[in-house]
Amino acid sequence: MANLDDLMKLNGAVAAFSYTDEGELTESRIEDDSLNNDVLDMLAHMCVANTAIATMQARGWQKLTGMEGFYPVEGFALMGLEWSAVTNNHVGVVLKNDGADYEAAYQALHS
Amino acid sequence: MLKKLLILNGVMAVAQFRDDGAYVEGYGAMPEEELVRLTHFAHDYKRMVQGNVDQLSMFAQVNGWTPPGGWIVRGPAMTVCSISNVVAVVNNNETSLTEVMKEMNEVAHY
Amino acid sequence: MSLISELAATPGVLAAGEYSFRGDRFHFEGDMDDELARMASIMCRATSMGVHMQADMMSQFAEKCGWVPVRGWMVKEKNYSVCVVANYFCFLDHNNASVNDVVNKMQATLGEPGIDMV
């Protein structure tokens, strides 16, 4: 699992967090006053829900079309007005949109 | 007609919304602000369930699921259920969910 | 050149398109047939509706929530990624295309997100 302190080193990182299979927050690092553990807990639940939906879609798409390479899902990201959340494998990072490097985030989450 | 649901055991609140999500009316043991929020959630959730059921039909190539008639989310003590544009909050220990859904179906299609 | 044409012409991009939130029309370019593009539109639309609802709920937990209104979402799969901004989607092979370039291009072209999903 990726190290939260390493995730905080990503450009524009304002928070990093880990969560259970169900989305319950287990650990966090926060560097923005408008974020707190309750918000990250909701965010983690949201990412778990959307990863599950994406997994269903990838499964269905692959079976129906015969196209390989969609399953399994290796990350879900939400792009908001100012921030983005990138998550995978029980860990996530919140980045400022301005200068967000999604590929670097995925790479860090995979490590 | 909506108030008819409140007579049923365990029904805490009922509310109705338009197809665009706008609040129409609501009754029960909840301030109106929360009833409005309940209808917004129910409207959004209905569209989300509809979207996921469409995908189930599409991927599984099986008819009979879509369009969905309603949904039930059951928690440890409370349940939120909806049919068409009517939503209700019920207490699990005091209610027959089957009866609530049956009545709600009638009210929703009145 | 439209955003869809530009994305579709990007090396590594499988297809790009747009869909209406009402679900009654879609348009696409790229290496997909009409039926696949229709399915892709249905999938993207369903997830977008869910994400909007969830972000609205999340904004009630945080006064200055930087997620609302939602610009889009992205899912990384084994070899492919799906990027959605507003009502535009892009399927790309992330081993041969840059997710950053695609998302930045989509965000820069589509601008600030609208609150209503029409």
User: Which of C24, C42, C48, C58 would you mutate first to test chain B, the one with the most B CBs within 10 A?
Assistant: C42
Question: What pLDDT band is residue B110 in, cutting at 50, 70 and 90?
Answer: confident
Q: pLDDT tens digits, residue range A2-15? A: 999 999 999 999 99
Tell me: pLDDT of A50 over 80: yes
Taking the C-alpha atoms of residue B14 and residue B20, their distance in angstroms, rounded to an integer, is 18
Separation in Å, CA of A53 to nearest CA in chain B: 8
Average pLDDT over residues B39-64: 88
User: Which of A53, A62, A70, A71 would you mutate first to test chain B, the one with the most B CBs within 10 A?
Assistant: A53
Interface of C with A in 6-35 (CB under 8 A): none
Q: Does A24 touch chain C (CB under 8 A)?
A: no
Nearest-by-Cβ selection for C55 from A53, A69, A80: A80
Q: Does A63 touch chain B (CB under 8 A)?
A: yes
Q: What average pLDDT does chain A have?
A: 93
Tell me: pLDDT of B43 over 90: yes
Residue B24: half-sphere exposure toward Cβ, Cα within 13 Å? 16
Tokens of C108: 């820069």
Which ipTM was obtained for this model? 0.83
Give CATH for domain C3-110.
3.30.450.30
Buried b (16+ CB within 10 A) or exposed e, A2-40: bebeebbebebbbbbbbbeeebebeebbbebeebeeebb
Q: Which residues of C touch B48 (CB under 8 A)?
A: 46, 49-50, 53
Q: Per-residue pLDDT for chain C (118 aa), expressed as one digit of tens each?
A: 899 999 999 999 999 999 988 777 889 999 999 999 999 999 999 999 899 888 888 887 777 778 888 999 999 999 999 999 999 999 999 999 999 999 999 999 998 766 455 4
* Domains of chain A, first to last: 4-110 (3.30.450.30)
The size of the B-C interface in CB pairs under 8 A is 29
Q: Given this model, what pLDDT does residue A19 score?
A: 98
Q: pLDDT tens digits, residue range B65-108? A: 888 889 999 999 999 999 999 999 999 999 899 999 999 999 99
Q: Given this model, what pLDDT does residue C118 score?
A: 46
Tell me: pLDDT of A16 over 80: yes
Q: Given this model, what pLDDT does residue B12 score?
A: 96
Give CATH for domain B2-108.
3.30.450.30
How far is C-alpha C115 from the chain's CA centre?
A: 16
The size of the A-C interface in CB pairs under 8 A is 126
Q: Do A79 and C79 touch (CB under 8 A)?
A: no
Q: Given this model, what pLDDT does residue C23 score?
A: 73
Q: Given this model, what pLDDT does residue C114 score?
A: 62
Which residue do the tokens 């993207």 mark? C44
Higher pLDDT, B60 or C99: C99
